[in-house]
Structure formats: C-alpha cells, structure tokens
Structure 1
Amino acid sequence: MSALPAPAEPTFRPLAEADLPAVLDLLTASLAGGPTGTRTADFFRWKHRLNPFGASPGLLAEAPDGQLVGVRLFLRWQWYDGASGRTVAAVRPVDTATHPDFRGRGIFRQLTLDLLEQTKREAELVFNTPNGNSLPGYRKMGWQELGAVPVALRPVRPAAFVRGVRAALARRPTGPAAPLHCRLPTAADWFADHHGEGPLAELLRERAAADAADPRLATVRTPEFLRWRYGDAPGLDYRVLTCHRGGELTGLAVGRPRRRGPLAEFTLADVLVRPGDRDSAARLLRAAARESGCDHVAGHLSPGTEAAGAALRAGYLRAPRTGLTLAARTPTGRTELTLDSWRFTLGDLEVF
C-alpha cells in the first residue's frame, strides 16, 4: 500500500488590502471578537493603517488552493529613551491566527521569524505581552521574559467587588451582566474639541521636558497620538477625566468601562499631569473611582510618577498575582532591558 502524500505546504506573502475580509474571518475564528466583541474593517484600519507611528507590516500563509491559513501583524510603536535622548522605533507582535486544519505545522513560527527579518532594519526593539499559552513559543524564538507589569486596584463598591472576585475564582456562573453606566465624557468627543495647539499640547510639552531626565523608555506622546489611541478607537468607549487649577488644564486621565467577568472595571489607561503635581494626580485617581460607575478601577501606576506617588492616599493598592507578562527581544536576538527599563501606562500594554 502506497503512503499517503504529504500535505501541501502553504506559501507566505505580504498582506494586501484585498485580503482584509479573509483576515478578519480567520482572526474571528481563532481569537473570537477581540476587545470590541466584533472584528470590523474600521477597527482593523484604525489599528493597523492609521497608527501615527506607521502602518503595520503583515504576512499571510496561503494554502495551494488559495485559502488563507495564517496571519501575523506587527504593530509599530515608538519609545523615547531618556538615557540617550533619542526615539527608539519598535514593533509589537499582535493579531496572529492559524487555521485549525493547519496547526502544528510551524506556520506561527515561520510567519513571526519572517516578519522579524523583514523589520529588523527599521525597528530596534520587539516587545509584547504574551499569555501563558504563547510565551513558550516566543521563548524558543529568542524572546526574554522580563516579568509581570503590576496592576494597582481601587475597589469602589467593596461588597460587589468581593462577591465578583469570589465568583470569578470559583468560576461560578453569573446572571446577565447589568449595563454599564459611566457619566464621564467620551474620549471621541473630548479629543474632537482639543486638538492642535492648546492646553493639551502645552501640558504634553511640560511633561516631555520633565520626562527627558528619566532614563526609562516611555511612549512618545503627542496630541495626535492620544487622539488616535483613545479618541478615534472604534468601539472601545474610552472616557476622559480632567483636572483644572485657576482655569488651566493641570491633568488628564483616560480609561474605559468594561466587563471583567462578573465585575465592572474601569481600566485606567493613562494619567498625565504637570511635573511634580501629585495633587492633580490624586484628584484624577479619586475621580476615576467616583465617576466611572464601575465596581473597581485598575491601572498600572509606574514607579516614580506623580500618579504612583498619589496612589496610596487615593486608595489604590497593588493587586497580588496580577499583571501582564512583558517579553522582549531585539530583531536579531535577546535584549539587555529589564522590567525597570520602562515607564509604562496600561494604555501602552493593554490588548486592543
């Protein structure tokens, strides 16, 4: 009896605009609806085509019959390196999927390695937050696990928060989720009214001048970046809190109400205040708890920042056994960076 022929190997090619419907179908089949519940062309274009740091490079795996069986994209990012005073171009591996019939054939690995090779001359750093299932594969491809980025929590409704945590730990079924009621203005509306030169641009200039003395890597923040990241994000429902003194903008925070199992969480993505202004940071942190309409607030308050300095008196404590796992490498190998090399916000790392 003759042996069965080996399955035909897929071919690899760059992602084209015409591939978008098939890419969305494959991502949905593999990763469900994503952070908005539905993978749409508008969300894909916002994330991968309108990013102010540049369009995302992407590769596809295609079966001999033309069926799309694998996809891999790298999101472009920029970090400011206070130690050297320059901008570091980076990429973040995101949105990867392999068709169920083609798993176990090295497609994920090949797409990732090929895209690393393609971007190695334009990106100095590769970083992402893999989950427990994907982390071993990244390690085999040269990624270094740097540790867990801690999360600070502020319970707003203590009884509801405790019940929700217990139900989540016990994996008990819960009833239909109540609708979220957040009184805060939407980021879409706020950033539509605050663009170009103005109070936000002035706040960012003051912030950038002070942050230049910090040797850690921090995201390059401009009004254009913030509007794209939070104001233009389709379906993510970011909200804005502001703080003023004497009629002048002294602080801005951005977050979004979301369901976290049985709990309503306000994910605090970003806190920006004038240098040294812990009072404005504390006011923003308290307002997030008071006005979000959620059971708790969660965010990363990077050590040494005004928000971290105000966290305790605003009721925020580090949550045990939580946090996103950070992994990184250079395009050609391992990195010497550590978790302490970055000054993150949760908006830099949350999956979107």
Structure 2
Amino acid sequence: MSASPEQPRDDAFELSYRPLDGADTPAVLELLTASLAGGPTGTRSADFFEWKHHRNPFGTSPGLVAVTPEGRIVGVRLFLRWEWRAVDRVVRAVRPVDTATHPDFQGRGIFRRLTTQLLEQVSSEAELVFNTPNGNSLPGYLRMGWQELGQVPVSLRIARPLSFARGARAALARRAAATGPVVCPLPTAAGWFGSGGSDGTPAGLDELLRERAEADASDGRLAVARTEPYLRWRYGDAPGLDYRVMTCHRGGELAGVAFGRPRRRGPLVEFTLADVIVRPGDRRAAAELLRAAARSGGDHVATHLAAGTEAAAAALRSGYLRAPRTGMRLAARTPAGAVPPELGAWRFNLGDLEVF
C-alpha cells in the first residue's frame, strides 16, 4: 500500500531529489517502517527489500528519495518492474510500491514530486503503470492521471466452519489478534524448488509450463508468463513469507501445481492461495489442488482466480464463493496518460497482486 498523496506546496524546493542507491537501504527501511509498519512479513528486513527490488527477474526497481540539506531521507518512492504478456508481445510495466513521507514533511508535495519524476524516468521503457491503492490514496492517484479499472474480487472457501465462525465473531468484537506460528502440513515451496534435478527444476515443471503457455497464447488479456525462474523467485525465494506448494500427478506426470501461504488474519488463520497452474483443460487437477488448499490447516482459503481458467471453473464446484465487501482496487495509467483499451483486460491470480 502507498502513503496518501499530499498537495504540492512551494517549500518543496528546500529538498533535493536523487536516485535511490544501495547505501540508502537502512534509512529507507526505517522510514517505511515508521510510515507503513512492518509490511507483509511483519518486519522490513534488508533481505526482503533485496529480494523484492534487486533479485526480481524483471529487473531492478527504479527509485527516488527526497533528501534534506543535512542529508536526511524524508521521502521515498520505488517502482517495482513487472512484465505482462498479451498474445505474442511483452508489455513492460512498473508498479508503484514502498512509498513513504516522514510525518514532519507531509504536505510539501513530496509524494507528487517523487511520482512525476519517476514517471518521467521510466517513460521510455514502461508501457503501463499499475497498482492497487487503498481508499485513502486512490483519490490522489486519480488526480494524477490514474484510471480505476475496477475491483479485484476475492473468493473464500470455509475450511473449518466452527473455528471460522468463532474467529469472525472475535473480529467483529475487535478482539486482539492471535499470535504464534501457524501450523501447516504442506511442504514448503523453497524445499520443492530445492529438490529439482541436476538443472534445479522440479520434475515435470518445464513441460507443464510449456503446455500452459501454448494454451494461453491466444488469450488477449494481460497475464504474467509463468516461467520457472519467475515462480522460483516469487514463491521459492521470498524471504519470510512461508509459501507452500501443492502438486497433483497423472500417470506419474506433473498435472498441476499451486502455491499459497498460511498467515494470521486477525483471530483467523487464512491460507492465501496465490497461484494455480494445471495442464490445459484439466479441471479435475484444479479441483484437487483447490481441495488440498482447504486441507492446509487454515480456517479458510482466500484467493482470486482468473475468469475463464480451469481453476476458476473448478472453484465454483469446490465451495469457493465470492466474498462481499472484499478485494483490491486496481488502478493504472501509461506514463503518458490514459490506458488504451488493449491494455485494460487482465488475466491474473492473487499472486500477481498480493505481497507487493
């Protein structure tokens, strides 16, 4: 999530703006923690920052900082690099993330200045800028040329009805969130990727991904190309997020794989199902993976599965129902302005949006 945009003021000239460099990481993490708390892992570590912004297979994140005359960093803005594919072409994109302004310097136009300068910087290399702003920051984005493209719905599957009901009542009563580790019987994604053969790739994954890519090649919606390096980075190497893996096989061959993570959601234990990949047309494999997610030990499963996919069709028959008043707002623009119609249709799973 991003900090709320401020209106510009003339005293912004007191600050200087420069590219983020490696030596800035400790000060940036301190600023992000003070403004946005601990992030998805609960603690903003240098390892997570490095994974997100420097080990990303799509490239290193461009970033800017606002600095006082004394050298103190009081504002930061990063754009996470991303790539979407539509039919036979790559759409290079960036996603605004990790934005903060020190409370003592809010109202000076720092947010807007960092954003406009970074947009200019990436204008020659990115076709699309997209993010999921919260309700507080969305109006400011709209004033800066973003378009709201709709709500990304979340579907739930209740796995333990009594426990879920107790947790929901506790949440409504605003009772303190539970603490402690979450027990999950599923193997870790890191371990699964680490079990690969001589080339490091789990058996059957390359063939599964090749078949999936061929089947999706004619779909004109924007989607992430699910390659082995991307999946390994996204789920196997993510520090502090405890992604788990589910697999199913047909005749000894890998027919599907899914990734998700157990997490505490207030008084509830949620299994966030991030990605489901199956062979073309294999709804049975998708249903098997969806059932495995429901047996992960959580009170419920939360997911978003792209419309028209085998997983989305299987979810309707596996007890996954769209949850009211949930989801994320999707907003986007091009560096030059409005989003053209051909970039307005999307095919993504929850893993493309959560965490970042």
- Shorter-normalised TM range: over 0.9
- 1:273 is aligned to 2:271: no
Note the aligned Cα RMSD (angstroms).
Answer: 1.7
Asked whether the equivalents of residues 238 and 256 of structure 1 are also in contact (C-alpha less than 8 Å), the reply is yes
Please say if residues 69 and 102 of structure 1, whose CA atoms lie closer than 8 Å, have aligned partners that are also in contact.
yes
- 1:3-48 CA deviation, whole Å, 9 max, x = no partner? xxx6862110000111111111111111111111111111111100
Check if 1:324 corresponds to 2:328: yes
Q: Does 1:95 align with 2:102?
A: no
Please say if 1:304 is aligned against 2:320.
no
Q: 1:43 to 1:71 in 2, by over 3 A?
A: same
Q: 1:320 to 1:175 in 2, by over 3 A?
A: closer
CA distance in 1, matches of 2:331, 2:325: 17
CA displacement 1:281-334 (0-9 Å, x = unmatched): 0000001101x1100000001110000110122111111111111000001101
Distance 1:305 1:340, change over 3 A: farther
User: What residue in structure 2 maps to residue 62 of structure 1?
Assistant: 67
Tell me which residue corresponds to 1:139: 142
Aligned with residue 264 of structure 2, among 229, 236, 259: 259
Secondary structure, counterpart of 1:341 in structure 2? coil
Partners of 2:224 and 2:177 lie apart in 1 by 40
Match of 1:166 in 2: 169
Residues 1:335 and 2:329 aligned together: no
Distance of aligned partners of 1:7 and 1:289 in 2 relative to their CA distance in 1, 3 Å threshold: closer
Cα deviation, residue 336, structure 1? 3.1
User: Does structure 1 retain, via aligned residues, the 8 Å contact 2:12–2:110?
Assistant: no
Q: CA deviation at 1:221?
A: 1.3
AA aligned to 2:327 is G
**Matched AA of 2:234:** R
User: In structure 2, the residue corresponding to 1:217 is in which secondary structure?
Assistant: coil
Distance 1:256 1:175 in 2: 18
The Cα of 1:213 is off from its aligned counterpart by 1.4
Pair 304,339 (structure 1): closer, same or farther in 2 beyond 3 Å? farther
Identity of aligned residues (%): 71
Distance in 1 separating the partners of 2:19 and 2:177: 45
Distance across 2 between alignment mates of 1:166 and 1:318: 20
1:3 alignment counterpart = none
1:197 Cα offset (Å):
8.0
Q: 2: CA distance between counterparts of 1:57 and 1:176?
A: 37
Which residue of 2 is the match for residue 220 of structure 1?
A: 225
Hey, what's the Cα distance between the residues in 2 that align with 1:159 and 1:53?
A: 43
Q: Which runs of 5+ in 2 are unaligned?
A: 1-10
The number of aligned residues is 344
Where 2:185 maps in the other structure, the secondary structure is coil
1: CA distance, partners of 2:49 / 2:245: 23
How far apart are residue 178 of structure 1 and its match?
A: 5.3
Deviates further, 185-194 or 269-278: 185-194
1:149-195 deviations in whole A, cap 9, x for unaligned? Answer: 11111001112212322332x34213643531101011111112233
In the alignment, is residue 157 of structure 1 matched against residue 157 of structure 2?
Answer: no
Letter of the 1:174 partner, please give it: A
Q: TM-score, normalised by structure 1?
A: 0.94
> SS of the residue aligned with 2:248?
strand
Within 1, Cα distance between the matches of 2:341 and 2:279?
28
Structure 1 pair 311/176, CA: closer, same or farther in 2 (3 Å)?
closer
**CA–CA distance in structure 2, aligned partners of residues 250 and 310 of structure 1:** 15
Could you tell me which residue of structure 2 aligns to residue 115 of structure 1? Answer: 118
Instruction: Provide the rounded CA distance (Å) in 2 between the counterparts of 1:315 and 1:18.
Output: 49
The answer to whether the Cα contact below 8 Å between 1:326 and 1:339 also exists between their aligned partners in 2 is no
Asked whether the 8 Å contact 1:258–1:264 carries over to 2, the reply is yes
TM-score, normalised by the number of residues in structure 2: 0.93
